[in-house]
Every structure is written in structure tokens, then in C-alpha cells.
Structure 1
């Protein structure tokens, strides 16, 4: 699988999971209603399927790598939709997580 396809799948997974969680948050905490919550639950379910399209057969590796994408993606989501302003430590932490994703997913392996 190409690096570009793998990255695209991670981005799609982040949109589904972070977006789903955000919709549930908005529906419950911001009192927007059950349709928001239901949409969030559907998006969270879709996230579960997206990871299965990664070529690596190891669930643990895919989920571990996605964890780094989730950290960076959550900060970006907050900036774009909630007006969150990350500080330098947030940005450094996200960069470290994304470096970890690169190592986990794309380091040469003897298989």
C-alpha cells in the first residue's frame, strides 16, 4: 500500500472518529439533540471500518499508529471548529506523535 493511501485512510479515520465524538459532544453537552448524537454514533461506527482498509494485518500496529493521528487531528479539529488555540507544547507533542506514526507505519521491516 502506498504511503499516500495509508495517510489518506488515517485522515478519513480521524474525520470519522473525531467528528463522531464531536457530534455526540454537541448533541449532549450543547443540547443540540438526539439527531446530533445519532449522527455521531454512525460516524464512530464508520471509523471502525476505515481502519480495516489499511494494508498492514496487525490491528495493534494500525491502532497504535492511528493514536498519533488522533492526537494531532484532535488539536486541528479544535482549532477549526471550536476556536481552540494550541500552545507550543501542544504543537510539539503533536509533532512527536506524528513522528511516532511514521516510525510505526513506514519503518522498513524484515517480513
Structure 2
């Protein structure tokens, strides 16, 4: 159950961080204005809080593992929000990153 909670928190963190960055991008690069930028900044702040809810207490481990989620989530966001179509190398890279995330977060550690 702890792994499911952790995975759900990674997904939520990804939605806030990637969504926040996308909103800022839209506000600046697509000239949608300060409202979009402000919403993006708020979402990025929410990401920081969600990361603290992970059951593991090691900041470095959480952020390192989240990197894999960020890579895969960014490709997925691009597909949904911008019509981006990843090629097989994008997909392979994302799977490698997610595998690394799983090793970092969920590998058995004697007593830790």
C-alpha cells in the first residue's frame, strides 16, 4: 500500500510541476499573459508541497526518483496538451528513467 501511495504522490507531483511549467510556457512563449504565468507559479509551488508528502524521508532520493517520473510525464503531457508524438527512442528513454526511479525508490534496503 505504501508503494501505491508513493506512486500516486509522484503522479500528482508530476501534474503540478509539468502543468505549472506548461502554464508558464503558455503565458510567456504563447503570449497568453500573466494569469497563465501566475497559475503556473502556483502549481509549481504546490509541487514542492506534494513532494514533502512522500513516505521516504530522504530529500535526495525523492527528487532523484522524481526525475524519472518527470521525464515520462513530460512526454505524456506533450502528447495530450500539444499533440507531440514521441518516437521509439523517446519511449525507450522514458522506460529506462522509470526503471531507474523504481530502483531508487522501491529497492529493498536492509533496515533503511
Q: TM-score, normalised by structure 2?
A: 0.97
Considering only aligned residues, what root-mean-square deviation do their CA atoms show, in Å? 0.7
- 1:70-110 per-residue CA deviation (whole Å, 9 max, x = no partner) reads 00000000000000010000000000000011101100001
Query: How far apart are residue 2 of structure 1 and its match?
Result: 1.0
Structure 2 counterparts to residues 25-64 of structure 1, below 5 A: 25-64=25-64
* Structure 1: 4+ residue segments shifted above 2 A: none
Alignment partners' CA distance in 2, 1:24 and 1:102: 29
Alignment partners' CA distance in 2, 1:54 and 1:85: 31
Match of 1:69 in 2: 69
How many residues align? The count is 111
Gaps of 5+ in 1: none
Query: How far apart are residue 43 of structure 1 and its match?
Result: 0.2
Match of 2:21 in 1: 21
Alignment partners' CA distance in 2, 1:95 and 1:43: 26
**Contact residue 56 and residue 62 of structure 2 kept, 8 A:** yes
Q: TM-score, normalised by structure 1?
A: 0.98
Alignment partners' CA distance in 1, 2:51 and 2:109: 20
Structure 2 counterparts to residues 61-100 of structure 1, below 5 A: 61-100=61-100
Alignment partners' CA distance in 1, 2:55 and 2:13: 14
